[in-house]
Structure 1
């Protein structure tokens, strides 16, 4: 009874007193600290690990010496990217209680992470208690269902906004072009009109993406071969990749993978993945490098239910993505790119397209090492043309 009470209390994002903290680490209190079934870590506000219980060591597959004194994000959360600090590091610096569901690859799963500041005698926060409770499959499915409902609502809103904005912006671009045609070449007026046209076209691109996002359910399905989609997609980008020194490695099985789907939509997904990989590679390697590599593989296999699927993997050796934001990557308008470099709609659109094809899309990444985009789609029966 005592143990379960302690576990329940540590999962609430409340501030702890110095006395209660000390009792968890000394004498009989240390036994209780080690007996807690959920991973528990004690860190400084700067994210340096001071202590970890047995459950944390087991989940991280590390010894006490391998964890103590190390940065928390390097152990469980993925570190920082050039444009976005690790959310956990930023959260710890606020010294505020917090609770969130997140992926902790260093602990091997999805967790409810509770952050509880520990006050010293003078009222300052010198230590922070982290408790990670692994989420159940029911909780994960519930979160996925909520996200799907949110995407559907945003899709309806996006369609309305896009249609209302599309006509005026088209008029602005056309009128600016007419004025430019009547202006002297290389004049200040022509330069300003060029800027208006360029910004108008950027807005038009966002509108186009919004409409694509809203039309995810409008599928025209037909029998297709996934290798052809990959081949056509690579042909569109290989010149630019070669120019930027990106080496492309393809690994596909000899047999053809047949799907029942929308060719253009699936090609849009692949092109978006290739674009993201290209950006990450150029960020890490602005110039030519033998490590500037993109690897694309495709093979038929089975999922956990034994159903035949095709698995497409696009792996780059770019900047990597902080683990704390992996789940948010599929949220509309969320982007890790600098301002003006991305709309934050590409992955949202891709997520919806793959889901409407009965597939799944997931991302695996380690900071400063790689990012792997994995797409799994149900294969179709060649005779019936329908997905398994």
Structure 2
């Protein structure tokens, strides 16, 4: 959007000068071109506008309006007002091809093109509707050429879209199958770890009794006893985390909606505490990177388990990037807006996210990590969960400075934490 806006803001006055002075055309309108420039200016701030709640939907609608007005409507109207001159006939063809490239969806391309052309014809008729053809190509021939270009371009786009959908379907099927196959051995590992956790103290007690009675048993150092217990705890923690990852894979691969029937009022502070207590940090140094900056506790309507998994995902991503950046800080805090919207902030001082990658981070199977180090399901799952809570998540990032996720939750009745 931003690139298109820059092209429009520069191109409109430039071509006004060219068609007015260098290669004069029968008709030019500084007012119509000025309107195109004014409509393009908000698109320069697309990134900032998309940070606000519910703005993405309005930006998408505005983007379609911009495309309709500045490509088919503007160019068809100028072609008619310039008596089908060759310059404007070719310009309109170029504009329609650009529309095919930008929209990619074949049906939307046809709708925008036909709607813009009909609207331009209606305005032309309202302005008088008379002209003498100055180009070499009659209007019916031009229309047939334009339709051929649109249909052919849309057909190629439709084929590309089908191929992309088939690839995604194959990936999701493979991921779903893999997740199902891994759940059975994982359940066995978790069950075995629980069994060892239950009977290990009995074995240790028997060993100690044998040592006390001078029975012939091999000595085991006390430090090794502690390591055995910590390893069991780690197996249990890692298996739970892996189980959560598999659940995310299954949800994303099946595109299933999250079951809201078990949702209840949950404390955000309790979720943060549980996530920090249960997350399998690789070292005490990693744990020291995290700071809870406070803020008011609040209730939201959702699931504690899902919210903890959301925080697990954010922690995993942040810790990975901090480790690659030789450390940093992760700050977690809450706030409340004047309109009663509760927010949870999760900020890290890692390397940040590239501006061109920022709009895609919540897409399924998109990963900004090196190949093999990211699944592309974590943030998609995060967004799915927050949406199921009736909330909204956005990401702010400055390359080389920080990345911040802001999760907004609607106010619920009887919030006793304010």
Greater percentage in helix? 2
Where relative contact order (Cα < 8 A, 6+ residues apart) is larger, the structure is 1
